[in-house]
Amino acid sequence: MRVCVLGAGIIGLASAYELNRAGHDVTVIDRALPGSGASGGNGAQLSYSYVQPLADPGIWAQLPKLLMSASSPLKIRPQLDVYQWRWALKFMAACNTAASRSTTAELLQLAEQSRMGLDAMMAAENLAIDHTKSGKLVLFAGTAAFAAAQKQLALQQKLGSVQEAVDAQRCIDIEPALANFQQHISGAVYTPGECAADCQKLCDGLHVLLTQRGVRFLLNTPIKHIKREARHIVAVTTTQGDVDADQYVLALGAASAPVGRHLGVDLPVYPLKGYSITLDVLDSQSGAKLSPTVSVTDSARKVVFARIGSRLRVAGMAELGGYNTEISHLQIASLQASTQTVFPGCSTFADLRPWAGLRPATPTARPIIGTHPNGPTNMFFNVGHGALGLTLAFGSAMRLARLLS
């Protein structure tokens, strides 16, 4: 079948990979270059066990800070946008124990399929993407936060996750670069099976590989319009003319919802903006390890650290504030300050490589994969992966390819 994939972020590219493997004739269209949306500068974590949604009952206690504090890592910037308010209301409705648990169970399953999919792709293609089985430590600063994390750990252990609660000393044994931060750690959850990879290198590697296999890429080519006849897409109009296919896959990240509305499909996807910096690391000094090789999350600051090759990716913040991708220098300074607190001396900080991206978030954190009951019959969606697009890409792509085939 001729399949046209709209979007060359990690979701569109993983979809194109699985569709090409299934024998389809694939074209990929993007208004920019592969990975240049939310994918390229992301947190680099293959977070197979950390899939708990942001919509959790614990959010209610944080709400005043969320709305009031200038330094909160989670922010709501109210817009004159009915879709933002509707998203926020649906998000609040999902902040209950039952919804959080069932989403966790579903995402753990999809994440495991993704792990298998990415590992199989890596074994077959051997792409250079700085992939490591880094393990992950999630640090907690207070006893209440650590106790809540242990409850989640008990739930996840029942669902098959291999994780353990560890004390501050054991954290240092696992990641000696945390030595200077030991007094701020009440406890941590350690997940040895977590991985890290450079998502931009993965996007670039897939682009090169798929081009060699005959996939056609129309890059720097904005999609202007999608032509329909009744419930059937007949072509996608781009700045380079019309592209027609038998089936279409919509993987436009945060831009998916406005495009979906033109097709009569109400996708509950809204941007959650985040930031990252990427530092060249200094590894050790006088025998002391300065930079981590284990992925670390500082849960108090909601900042994640991942080692990719000789660089440290530091990412965080979640702003519900519309489609603006401007880089806030305050947020970048905050990421730098967090890094200097947790890993002092890990870099000269001479070049921060600041980046911002829009997570395509659904209120529940469940992605939308497949056709839509109100949508065109030959349009498949692969959208709404929120904070887990890299982690869930290959499981989602395999599911999509199965449905489409």
Ligand X SMILES: Cc1cc2nc3c(=O)[nH]c(=O)nc-3n(C[C@H](O)[C@H](O)[C@H](O)COP(=O)(O)OP(=O)(O)OC[C@H]3O[C@@H](n4cnc5c(N)ncnc54)[C@H](O)[C@@H]3O)c2cc1C
Report the interface residues with ligand X, using CB under 6 A: 7-12, 29-32, 36-39, 42-45, 47, 222-223, 251-255, 274-276, 315, 357, 359-360, 385-391
Nearer to ligand X, 138 or 251 (CB): 251
Query: Closest distance between ligand X and the C-beta of residue 253, in Å?
Result: 2
Cβ atoms of residues 173 and 3 within 8 Å:
no
CA distances from 234 to 4, 52, 205, 240, 327 (A): 11, 39, 31, 16, 38
- Minimum distance from residue 7 beta carbon to ligand X (Å): 3
For residue 58, the minimal CB distance to ligand X (Å) is 20
CA–chain centroid gap for 370, Å, is: 19
Measured from the CB atom, the residue of 12 and 354 that comes closer to ligand X is 12
Q: Least distance to ligand X from the beta carbon of 159, Å? A: 19
Nearer CB in complex with ligand X: 168/352 = 352
Comparison of 108 and 255: residue with beta carbon closer to ligand X: 255
- Sign of CA pseudo-dihedral 313, 318, 323, 325: negative
Smallest distance, Å, CB 48 to ligand X? Answer: 9
Whether the CB-CB separation of 149 and 141 falls below 8 Å is answered with: no
Q: Are 398 and 113 in contact (CB under 8 A)?
A: yes
Alpha carbon 318 to its chain centroid, in Å, reads 12
Q: Which is nearer to ligand X, 9 or 395 (CB)?
A: 9
For 24, the enclosing helix (H) or strand (E) is none
Element containing residue 273 per DSSP (H, E) = strand 270-280
- Residue of 355, 359, 358 whose CA lies nearest to 387: 359
Q: How far is the CB of 373 from ligand X (least distance, A)?
A: 22
CB 355 within 8 A of CB 362: no
* CB of residue 144 to ligand X, shortest distance in Å: 26
Q: Toward ligand X, which CB reaches closer, 178 or 218?
A: 218
Q: Rg for the chain (alpha carbons), in Å?
A: 21
Of the two residues 203 and 281, which places its CB atom closer to ligand X in the complex? 203
Q: Residue 47 or 378: which CB sits closer to ligand X?
A: 47
Q: How far is the CB of 216 from ligand X (least distance, A)?
A: 15
Burial tier of 30 (Cβ tally within 10 Å: 0-12, 13-18, 19+): buried
| Torsion angles phi and psi, residue 337, rounded to 5 | -65, -40
